[in-house]
Amino acid sequence: MTFHPTRSLIAAAGAMALLTGAAAADIDLEQYMEMFEPLPALPPIPADNSLTPEKIELGKMLFFEPRLSSSGVISCATCHNPALGWADRLPRGTGHEGQIGLRNTPTVLNSGFLTSQFWDGREPDLEGQALGPIEAPDEMAMDLDEALQRIEEFDVYIRLFSEAFPDDENPINAQNVAQSLATFQRTLNTPNSPFDRFLRGDMQAMTEQQVAGMVAFVDNGCVACHQGPALTDGMFHRFELPGPTDLGRYVVTGEEFDRYAFRTPTLRNVAVTYPYFHNGSIDNLHDAVNLMGEQMLGQEFDDETLDDIVAFLHALTGEMPAVTIPALP
Amino acid sequence: MTFHPTRSLIAAAGAMALLTGAAAADIDLEQYMEMFEPLPALPPIPADNSLTPEKIELGKMLFFEPRLSSSGVISCATCHNPALGWADRLPRGTGHEGQIGLRNTPTVLNSGFLTSQFWDGREPDLEGQALGPIEAPDEMAMDLDEALQRIEEFDVYIRLFSEAFPDDENPINAQNVAQSLATFQRTLNTPNSPFDRFLRGDMQAMTEQQVAGMVAFVDNGCVACHQGPALTDGMFHRFELPGPTDLGRYVVTGEEFDRYAFRTPTLRNVAVTYPYFHNGSIDNLHDAVNLMGEQMLGQEFDDETLDDIVAFLHALTGEMPAVTIPALP
């Protein structure tokens, strides 16, 4: 979907005035609704890593497996905590021996819809992402070979890897850890948010203020970068934030225009995945939206617009995946 | 229940020989079965802390709440991990900034049945236990007042504390944190193990080897200390272990006979709550049973007896509580 926001759209339709009123409102709103996509039930599944129940089950166990960390107490679920919107609600991730990392922990929710992984987009997919935090010295600080040796000690894992990868002679390997973790993560989606229900035709699913916020979101150009099912264009942008920063996308490409640039984050579940931005320096949505207005759109939102957009962002909280904690061997 | 184990019992009945056989076996087995109690659905509930759905819900959220730790990433559930038998499967607990503590993390499962808390029994009940790990510098390392301040920031917690403690003017306080955590923990019981079903009359619930192990468990005197619904007498005993130790119960009482003494642990779910003993130095049941035979009973079990007792201990794994991860504010 390509969309170039324009003030003329809303001006012509007078949509704001019509929101509370007559039949014409629906027609005008449709132009806005067409700029968005409801979240599909599943993200794209790669041809070389089919989504199977066996891989989902194994991936779930590995996601909760603290023995993948050198200390034996940190699992993927420690920072991508299901109780905290599958993130950690800290400015920056806290890992091995209490070290504080460089960047804010992104939520795993709907991460299969992203076109690249990590804030700097250095991996193209969840398979490429999965092993990074296990090995990172300030996260799980684990040697991958040692992790595999620990896993191999358990009959349960030997069986589950064999079932998930029946064609492999030695299925317990790093690639299969990554494939099963990625497969599990592709199931962690949050459908049926008020926004999705609204887009599917339930006009009562969002409040009037949230609808007004959706209109303001389009009209002010937020949608230029926050588009598509996960409300991110997958592109890299540069702006100024308080607090520590790093070179961002530049580290990946070496291109000058990528210096301090970070990938547009998803806005899905943004109300429950605070604090915000790559360094987690902003802890509430009002300040985050305000900063985006100033930095990306060159304007100061009036209080009403700000409130409306924040209300709209609350409508992006979907149904959390019902994950029961696995019993590990 | 008072029980003094005696070899004459089994000798007279010839139970071992009858296990696989005729009707007489059931009669003999009954004498053994009467020495045990199936796990009740709930432990005793204190008069001054009634078990209410509101306290259970609040306690569950607090149990998973990492903001009760100074780092913001450690919750009760980090070391009492539901994926790992509500313990951590490490020799000794790993807490704030990776510090390794003095003792093995006991499981929370069925802890409401214990007559004292902590390895040294320094607290009489779960209410007394609950705040200890939050404040311990090598566990969650959190100032209690600061923890309460963090909680007070959330409308959800203000509401939940008010609902759980409707008579309190200022319900967010340390005592109520302890009361709600204790209440939640009293719901974490594991009924209907093969052993419980066997005791209730399902004679097929345990294997023949497990029944033989139960008989050996009684006949060799293990049941002298491992008795009652949680299979612990709640008393303190001293024995020699490899690895680091500490003064144990002596720290609490100052009595010479308590030096290096630790409370008999529950045997419920012992197969899934390795490693064993207060310093976690033994990582498998065979070695643990063998050590107990040598140290507490002054005998070396033959291989068959050892295998039988270990098989019996596997029959003590009950149904794990079905806990879904709460959504924290």
3-state secondary structure B188-224: CCCCCCHHHHHHCCCCCCCCHHHHHHHHHHHHCCHHH
Q: Looking at the complex, report in whole angstroms how far the Cα of residue A253 sits from the nearest Cα belonging to chain B.
A: 33
Q: Looking at the complex, report in whole angstroms how far the Cα of residue B150 sits from the nearest Cα belonging to chain A.
A: 13
Q: Where do the H-state alpha helices sit in chain B?
A: 7-13, 15-18, 24-33, 53-63, 76-79, 126-130, 132-135, 144-152, 155-164, 174-185, 194-199, 208-219, 250-253, 285-296, 303-314
Any idea of the CA torsion for B295, B298, B304, B307, to the nearest 10 degrees? -20
Question: In chain A, which residues have their Cβ closer than 8 Å to the Cβ of B324?
Answer: 322-324
Residue B242 pLDDT: 93
Residue with tokens 């049973």: B289
Question: Is residue B326 classed as helix, strand or coil in its secondary structure?
Answer: coil
Question: Is residue A238 classed as helix, strand or coil in its secondary structure?
Answer: strand
Question: In chain B, which residues have their Cβ closer than 8 Å to the Cβ of A82?
Answer: 325
Please say if the pLDDT value at position A320 is more than 90.
Answer: yes
Bridge partner list, B238: B261
Cβ burial of B252 (10 Å; 0-12, 13-18, 19+) is: middle
CA distance B162 to B160: 5
Asked if B325 and A326 come within 8 Å (Cβ–Cβ), the reply is no
Asked if A83 and B64 come within 8 Å (Cβ–Cβ), the reply is yes
Asked if residue B147 lies in contact with residue B68, where contact means CB atoms within 8 angstroms, the answer is yes
Long-range contacts of A4-13 (CB under 8 A, 24+ apart): A4/A224, A5/A218, A5/A219, A5/A220, A5/A221, A5/A222, A5/A223, A5/A224, A7/A219, A9/A218, A9/A219, A10/A215, A10/A218, A10/A219
Residue with tokens 């509580």: B321
For chains A and B, count residue pairs whose Cβ atoms are closer than 8 Å.
70
- The pLDDT tens digits of the residues spanning A39-48 come to 999 999 999 9
CA distance A64 to B85: 13
pLDDT level of residue A26 (50, 70, 90 thresholds): low
What amino acid positions of B are annotated as catalytic residues? 139
Asked if A66 and B88 come within 8 Å (Cβ–Cβ), the reply is yes
Query: The whole model's pTM is what?
Result: 0.90
Residue A309 pLDDT: 98
Question: In chain A, which residues have their Cβ closer than 8 Å to the Cβ of B94?
Answer: 71-73
CA distance B265 to B114: 9
Asked if B72 and A78 come within 8 Å (Cβ–Cβ), the reply is no
Please say if the pLDDT value at position A325 is more than 60.
Answer: yes
Q: State yes or no: ipTM above 0.95.
A: no
Asked if A97 and B96 come within 8 Å (Cβ–Cβ), the reply is no
CA distance A329 to B159: 38
In this prediction, residues A203-226 reach a mean pLDDT of 97
Asked if B82 and A325 come within 8 Å (Cβ–Cβ), the reply is yes
Question: In chain A, which residues have their Cβ closer than 8 Å to the Cβ of B83?
Answer: 64-65, 75, 325-328
More confident site: A139 or B7: A139
Question: Is residue B100 classed as helix, strand or coil in its secondary structure?
Answer: strand
CA distances from A323 to A51, A57, A133, A320, B327 (A): 17, 11, 21, 9, 11
Residue B164 pLDDT: 98
DSSP designation for A139: T
Cβ burial of B87 (10 Å; 0-12, 13-18, 19+) is: buried
List, for chain B, all residue ranges whose pLDDT scores fall below the cut of 50: 1-25
Asked if residue B224 lies in contact with residue B5, where contact means CB atoms within 8 angstroms, the answer is yes
CA distances from A28 to A17, A310, A315, A320, B242 (A): 11, 22, 20, 31, 77
Chain A's closest residue to B86, CA to CA, is A327
Residue with tokens 């139960």: B214
Cβ burial of B238 (10 Å; 0-12, 13-18, 19+) is: middle
Residue A259 pLDDT: 95
User: HEC profile for A183-237?
Assistant: HHHCCCCCCCCHHHHHHCCCCCCCCHHHHHHHHHHHHCCHHHCCCCCCCCCCCEE
Of A210, A66, A185, nearest in space to A127 by CA: A185
A325 vs B71, B272, B325: nearest CB: B325
Asked if B328 and A83 come within 8 Å (Cβ–Cβ), the reply is yes
Asked if residue B171 lies in contact with residue B157, where contact means CB atoms within 8 angstroms, the answer is no
Tokens read off for B194: 């093969």
Asked if residue A132 lies in contact with residue A123, where contact means CB atoms within 8 angstroms, the answer is yes
Tokens read off for A152: 């191999």
A94 vs B73, B84, B323: nearest CB: B73
How would you classify the pairing of strands B261-263 and B236-238? antiparallel
Mutant choice from B65, B70, B84 vs A, greatest count of A C-beta within 10 A: B84
Of B43, B28, B32, B25, nearest in space to B3 by CA: B32
Please say if the pLDDT value at position A25 is more than 80.
Answer: no
- The catalytic residue among A123, A139, A208, A319 is A139
Asked if residue B297 lies in contact with residue A295, where contact means CB atoms within 8 angstroms, the answer is no
Tell me the residues of B at the A interface, defined by beta carbons under 8 Å apart: 64-67, 71-73, 78-79, 81-85, 88-90, 94, 96-98, 272, 320, 322-328
Of A96, A204, A104, nearest in space to A143 by CA: A96
A139 catalytically annotated: yes
Mutant choice from B65, B325, B328 vs A, greatest count of A C-beta within 10 A: B325
In this prediction, residues A54-74 reach a mean pLDDT of 98
Q: Looking at the complex, report in whole angstroms how far the Cα of residue B295 sits from the nearest Cα belonging to chain A.
A: 29
Question: In chain A, which residues have their Cβ closer than 8 Å to the Cβ of B327?
Answer: 83, 85, 272, 320
Residue A225 pLDDT: 97
pLDDT level of residue A28 (50, 70, 90 thresholds): confident
Tokens read off for B52: 């209410």
Asked if residue B328 lies in contact with residue B280, where contact means CB atoms within 8 angstroms, the answer is no
Residue B42 pLDDT: 97
B73 vs A78, A272, A327: nearest CB: A78
In this prediction, residues A111-115 reach a mean pLDDT of 98
Tokens read off for A3: 């969309």
Each residue of B136-162: b (16+ CB within 10 Å) or e?
Answer: bebbbbbeeeebbeebeebeebeebbe
Please say if the pLDDT value at position A93 is more than 90.
Answer: yes
Question: In chain A, which residues have their Cβ closer than 8 Å to the Cβ of B82?
Answer: 325
